[in-house]
Structure 1
Amino acid sequence: MFSSKIIAVAVLAGSCSLSFAAAQEPLPAPAPAAAPSLPDTRADDDAFLLLREAARQDDAVAAATYAARLPNYPIPSYVDYYRLKPRIRDASADEIRAFLAKWQGSAIADRMRNDWLLELGRNRDWANFDQQLPLFVLNDDLQVKCYALMSRAVKGERVAADARALLQNPPNYGEACAALVATLAQSGQFDTNDLLAQLRLAGEQHATGPAKRTAALLGESETHAAQAVDFPALAMARGVGASRAEHEIYLVAIGRMARTSLNLAAIGLNKNASKLSPTELATGWANIALAASMALSPEAGGYWKKSAGAPLSQDQLQWKTRIALREGDWKTVRATIESMPPQLRSDPTWTYWMARAMAAEGSREAAQALYTRIADQNSFYGQLAMEELGQQVAIPPPGAPLTAAEIAPMSANPGLRRALKFFSLRLRFEGTREWNWELRKFSERELLAAAEFARQNEILDRMVNTSERTRTEFDYTQRFPSPHNDILQPTTQNLGLDRAWVYGLIRQESRFVTDARSGVGASGLMQVMPSTGQYVARKIGLTDFVYSMLSDLRTNILLGANYMNMVLANADGSQPLASAAYNAGPGRARTWRATLSGPMEGAIFAESIPYPETRAYVKNVLSNATNYAALFERKPQSLKARLGVVTPNGARANQLP
């Protein structure tokens, strides 16, 4: 089930601003009911969906044809957008400005401005780019940010420090960030050390294109760089080379080989150790240490010791810390967190573990101060920090009940009504973008009212997301809803399953979107994979099972809950381990458990799960479950107790495949 959790509902367009006046984009007046009707025909909806697809395919002719069929569609801004988007490279600046003026302040205008900024950057039209950039509300596009730095650089501004902080993810660089690196190298703002760091990142993140481009900037063979990333054995066989860049390419190959064979990588590095500088040798060991860490190899700690003096990437710093946690080496935990960049160091994850390291060394007051910094965050590490301060997870008292007068404006809000229309068309990305755009200027009470409006319209993922934004007033029935309890509670009771854990998992899996589908075919409330559904159905005697039954709510809950029960039994009752198995598969969870040499604190086990998706998943599920338990039982709960310890275990006869 690994990677099956990238569901459409999880795609958030970001928060944006409330601004569309109803007069700009007229919609029918809202009915008194919670779900206002929008008069349009099925034929119009079909034409709109075809228009959207034509725009996605950059088919300007088809887009114009479908748009012409929709002169009175209830969402005219999107008709205009999808008509214009395929022509953005050929459209005049005046035409694009006319669109932006017509729909000024809207989510789709900000989307168009994003598109135009990318086009202006590609054309190096810095005059128009610089004029439009301050008007880009979200400013959440990596490519746009790279073009922004490039625009400043070509004017002679010093932007190297900002670029170093930004350029951390080579697989997502695209033309903009690649051009930024080249511009900085050619202008002298990036020196050889900067380019070598980019080459290391490209190798670490398996980004062949950026590796080739960086090698070319260093005056080295693009082919050799590509081989180091994709065919490390060939690159290692070629040898170390003479220049610093050739050495770095060899070290990239060492790191890539370590993903397949730690032993062969170590042999290759030792063989050529005399040809490398001390820093280069340490870098080679850091590359091997990263691979060993992600494999949870018992040798990882030793490799990290050999890497002393190496320039470490952010990923390497985090994995060095995780391995130190697994080994109980609090001195290294503290030292490594202290060497992280400030933004990474201030993340709640590393704030919490720094506090734990300080406490382990006897600096209790400093530790308490760090716990206090994050204890008000209702998240995995915020809850753990709260417990370190002597408190348990409890449900805060609700504010004053919402009135009908407070909810009524939500029904009249044009952006929220557009969102409802998109949700009715199963266009969750667009619906979420419109919904979030309207939340930016809402007060706490308005956020709660919008969440309640979402509940009334059975859009529970928006209810949860909206309610989570409040900081002073709370409604945990919105944040942690328990729909379909008439089905779920008897099922969990029959299985002896913790209902809070089941709801915590569903909240993470689908945000209660009953028709959610993942990119790999997982379906429904509990995101059950077809193969898993078939396996569980056979085990519980559901003889008439067919894959289409996964979309049936009762069947989805029945199969999902039974599968949770199976993975929990195989995990000897450990919810962290069972949650990992539900997400990544029992085989992977079994492999991770097999690396344990003794009992391990559940929080450390969760933090050192090799897959980023599963690591976040387990933490979120257990945090959710703790909140649900507090809500159901009406008393404070301990996340630490729920995490418990994860113990090693040998092979079992009833292990799941």
Structure 2
Amino acid sequence: MKAAQLVLSLLIMLYSVSSVADEGTEHFLEPEADAVYVQFVEIEQQLKTASYEAVAGLLTPLQQYPLYPYLQYQAYLRFPARLTQAEVNQFLDAYPLFPSRTYLQQAWLTQLAKDGRWQEWITAYQRLPNKSAAYQCDLAQAYLHTDQQEQGLALTASLWLVGKSQPKACDALFEQWAQLGNPTASMAQKRYWLAAQAGEMRLARYLHRYLDEDGNRLASAYEALLKQPERVATADVSIFPAMAQQQVIKKAFQSLARQSVEPAAQQWLAYRSHLPAASSLVHTLDVYIGKRLAYAQTDTAAELLSRLDPDHQYSELTEARLRQALGADVIDWAVVLTLITTLPADLQASDRWQYWYVNAMQNQTPVSPVVDDEIGDESVAEIKTVEGQTSESQPLDDIWNQLAQSRSFYGFLAAAHQQLPYHLNNQPFNVNADVLTELQKNPAIQRAKEWLKLDRPTEAQREWLSARARLAPDERQHMAALSFEWGWYHRSIMDAIRQQQWNYLDARFPPLFTDLFDRQASKNEIDVTWATAIARQESAFKPEAMSPVGARGLMQLMPSTAKLTAKKYGISLAGTEPLFNPETNIALGSAYLAEMYQRFDGNRTYASAAYNAGPNRVERWLKERGHLPLDAWIETIPYAETRQYVQNVLAFRVIYAQRAGQEVAMLSPSERLLLAYQQQSEPSEPDTVN
């Protein structure tokens, strides 16, 4: 009973903490101090060691509880040998939205395969087919074990004849297939070129053992070209199968462009004249090389970029040329204006290019500089509230005023220019009580609710997403309202974004962890709404968030950064697990953000970029382009992710401040003086960071 007592203690602690949660904390649902929650967790623990005979008695008391299927599922996984097909079918029929239903099916199939019950395996597989390669290999095994040789061999051949490695679960099948004289040299050659086309050269090299002499000679020539990309321009690639020709050309010119983009572009311009102009390869390499040229601020690079796309066929390259023009030592506003007018109509009408259009127009026409007193400090690329295309005859003030109505980074810049208030354009969601009531009757939604009461948001999210898959459109529109009502704020943010409810700001920008942000912002002498905006952009306030590269928690700290920050500022940190604790994460994230703020002389734009891309990169960008107007510097950040990140953070800060009733400027007075519309036609003095 010690385990049960421990569970009970933990739950009591959870209830106590949740009951005093303030409004600024993501608290999910308030757990009710009901014995059923204690009983559920207790049975969960007991099922890990309970005998088969004891299971039924453990489960019976909770048969009406929404999370009962999890206990039943756990029992089935513990004793798959005791299962029957009827029990599996009954479970699958009873819980069609259960997120782990496929794992039960897989456990049952694994047991049948282990027992050699292959005909039953086929029957079970057909109940809930699984198209993964591992289970397709098992299906082929089942055919071979049940005198369905023709189907089994055909399926095995199709599984082997792909351009990627198959899972280890297929090894036994392929070994059995090989004993029958497979694969033939022609099959191996076909697979080799499939692998080459997919860039899976490790597999391709492995397949040499199955190739005949001619096949090996051709494959070796192909691999030699991959190692010497400079030879491709003069090589006869027509000796290779068509599927591999494009791959070797693409890989070669991409490699050359990474080494030195301008010579690669010259070679590509000469080479592409021999290719069909409409081919996907031409498009791919034009855009790849063109985007790299855009960040090489030389006259030659600009000329090569214009030759890549002289007729402005690729909007990606036109935007790249615009950023190249905005990144020049002295911006040629006539070029900027001309390039904008060649963009497709929808891009011309976007906030981004409307902003640069009016700047280009203004910088060609002498006007008195506008010194705005107040600006807001963030923007949201997730929202667009102004549509329409600008006419060249439209007065500049009209364009500025129209743009200033938009809730976006550029809209906020325009509002500052015109000394207008920021427009948040908040539209509270009109809840239909009947739809919301029906939504909460959904079994998966009910299970999600119970998981939240147990403070297990990962399991809750699986149920939530499973429910979404089968909801009607009007029900999906209510998901953000329901998750917001529950206090599941990370989910409400994601639900509103998923449903493109851009103006539903209550769900998209909830004030969370306010006490922690207030305390740490004050301690580190940074703006609290800025730190909040960083967390909103980094994780959408998900404490347990972890990125593919290992960044953790609300403010997405890398373990190495967190360790150094903790040591520097005397913050206790034992391992990486505390990074999922909001208090620890916000303390470390705020300290690191303050460090970036000091390092970049109180410039939030540069500090935000450094928080995302690293301070060394930002210092390099400043040395290369620090003389640019600040908005042009942001627009020409080489990493698209960091460019959008900075714009979002600055915009989010405005939104949070405005919603809190605070007056805020998106940029400081000194930063505003660095904007393009303040610069006129005169080049600014270089501003470098040493």
TMscore range, shorter length? 0.5 to 0.7
Q: Find the partner of 1:623 among 651, 667, 673.
A: 651
Match of residue 131 from structure 1: none
Amino acid at match of 1:619: Q
Match of residue 484 from structure 2: 452
The superposition leaves residues 127-160 of structure 1 with CA deviations (integer Å, 9 ceiling, x where unpaired) of: xxxxxxxxxxxxxxxxxxxxxxxxxxxxxxxxxx
Match of residue 636 from structure 2: 608
Amino acid at match of 2:635: E
Q: Distance in 1 between matches of 2:237 and 2:312?
A: 18
> In 2 relative to 1, CA 98–610 (structure 1 residues): closer, same or farther, beyond 3 Å?
same
Q: Find the partner of 1:508 among 537, 547, 550.
A: 537
**Alignment map for 1:23-172 (pairs within 5 Å):** 40=40, 77-84=98-105
Q: Distance in 1 between matches of 2:223 and 2:312?
A: 22
The alpha-carbon deviation at position 444 of structure 1 amounts to 11
Match of residue 208 from structure 1: 199
Amino acid at match of 1:291: R
| Structure 1 length-normalised TM | 0.59
| Contact persistence 2:262–2:293 (CA under 8 A) | no
Amino acid at match of 1:612: A
Amino acid at match of 2:360: A
| Contact persistence 2:597–2:607 (CA under 8 A) | yes
> In 2 relative to 1, CA 64–514 (structure 1 residues): closer, same or farther, beyond 3 Å?
farther
Greater relative contact order structure (CA < 8 Å, 6+ sep): 1
Q: Does 1:518 align with 2:547?
A: yes
> In 2 relative to 1, CA 31–265 (structure 1 residues): closer, same or farther, beyond 3 Å?
closer
Q: Find the partner of 1:236 among 210, 216, 230.
A: 230
The alpha-carbon deviation at position 403 of structure 1 amounts to 11
Match of residue 465 from structure 2: 433
Match of residue 571 from structure 2: 542
**Alignment map for 1:83-482 (pairs within 5 Å):** 83-84=104-105, 208=199, 231=227, 234-241=228-235, 253-262=252-261, 265=264, 288-294=289-295, 300-309=301-310, 315-327=316-328, 328-333=331-336, 336=339, 346=346, 350=350, 352-354=352-354, 356-357=356-357, 360-361=360-361, 363=392, 365=394, 378-381=407-410, 383-384=412-413, 391-395=420-424, 411-420=440-449, 424=456, 426-427=458-459, 430-431=462-463, 433-434=465-466, 436-437=468-469, 441-442=473-474, 446=478, 449-455=481-487, 459-467=488-496, 476-482=505-511
Match of residue 532 from structure 1: 561
Q: Distance in 1 between matches of 2:689 and 2:290?
A: 28
The alpha-carbon deviation at position 506 of structure 1 amounts to 0.4
The superposition leaves residues 575-625 of structure 1 with CA deviations (integer Å, 9 ceiling, x where unpaired) of: 2221121112112222222220513233x3333322233233222212211
Amino acid at match of 2:571: L
Match of residue 566 from structure 1: 595
| Contact persistence 2:354–2:403 (CA under 8 A) | no
Match of residue 25 from structure 1: none
The alpha-carbon deviation at position 71 of structure 1 amounts to 7.2
Amino acid at match of 2:655: N
Q: Distance in 1 between matches of 2:35 and 2:432?
A: 19
| Structure 1: segments with no counterpart, 5+ residues | 1-29, 56-60, 100-111, 124-170, 175-202, 214-220, 653-657
Q: Distance in 1 between matches of 2:251 and 2:655?
A: 44
The superposition leaves residues 378-421 of structure 1 with CA deviations (integer Å, 9 ceiling, x where unpaired) of: 44355456667874324557759989999766654434334445
SS at match of 2:473: coil
| Contact persistence 1:208–1:226 (CA under 8 A) | no
The alpha-carbon deviation at position 510 of structure 1 amounts to 1.5
Q: Distance in 2 between matches of 1:445 and 1:293?
A: 41
Q: Percent identity?
A: 22
SS at match of 2:644: helix
The superposition leaves residues 203-255 of structure 1 with CA deviations (integer Å, 9 ceiling, x where unpaired) of: 9xx97369x99xxxxxxx88777777x64xx1213542468998996576344
The alpha-carbon deviation at position 538 of structure 1 amounts to 2.0
The alpha-carbon deviation at position 507 of structure 1 amounts to 0.6
Amino acid at match of 2:294: S
Q: Distance in 1 between matches of 2:36 and 2:437?
A: 15
Match of residue 587 from structure 1: 616
Match of residue 200 from structure 1: none
The alpha-carbon deviation at position 441 of structure 1 amounts to 3.2
User: Which range is displaced more, 317-326 or 573-582?
Assistant: 317-326
| Contact persistence 1:288–1:303 (CA under 8 A) | no
The superposition leaves residues 49-71 of structure 1 with CA deviations (integer Å, 9 ceiling, x where unpaired) of: 9989x99xxxxx89989996997
| Structure 2: segments with no counterpart, 5+ residues | 1-28, 49-69, 111-117, 141-162, 167-195, 205-217, 362-390, 676-684
| Contact persistence 1:297–1:595 (CA under 8 A) | no
| Contact persistence 1:394–1:635 (CA under 8 A) | no
Q: Distance in 1 between matches of 2:401 and 2:124?
A: 53
Q: Distance in 1 between matches of 2:88 and 2:247?
A: 58
The superposition leaves residues 67-111 of structure 1 with CA deviations (integer Å, 9 ceiling, x where unpaired) of: 9699779955435443457979x9999989977xxxxxxxxxxxx
Q: Distance in 1 between matches of 2:86 and 2:324?
A: 56
Amino acid at match of 1:426: T
RMSD: 6.0
Equivalent residue pairs, number = 510
SS at match of 1:208: coil
User: Which range is displaced more, 71-80 or 503-512?
Assistant: 71-80
Q: Distance in 1 between matches of 2:647 and 2:232?
A: 44
Q: Distance in 2 between matches of 1:310 and 1:36?
A: 72
Amino acid at match of 2:256: M
Q: Distance in 1 between matches of 2:467 and 2:221?
A: 48
Match of residue 586 from structure 2: 557
Amino acid at match of 1:628: Y
SS at match of 1:582: helix
Amino acid at match of 1:570: R
| Contact persistence 1:567–1:581 (CA under 8 A) | yes
Highest CA radius of gyration, 1 or 2? 2
| Contact persistence 2:99–2:462 (CA under 8 A) | no
Amino acid at match of 2:321: K
SS at match of 2:553: coil
> In 2 relative to 1, CA 569–95 (structure 1 residues): closer, same or farther, beyond 3 Å?
same
The alpha-carbon deviation at position 651 of structure 1 amounts to 4.7
| Structure 2 length-normalised TM | 0.56
Amino acid at match of 2:559: P
The superposition leaves residues 304-362 of structure 1 with CA deviations (integer Å, 9 ceiling, x where unpaired) of: 2343538865643432232233333455545555655x5xx635995531563266348
| Contact persistence 2:627–2:686 (CA under 8 A) | yes
> In 2 relative to 1, CA 360–377 (structure 1 residues): closer, same or farther, beyond 3 Å?
closer
Amino acid at match of 1:433: L
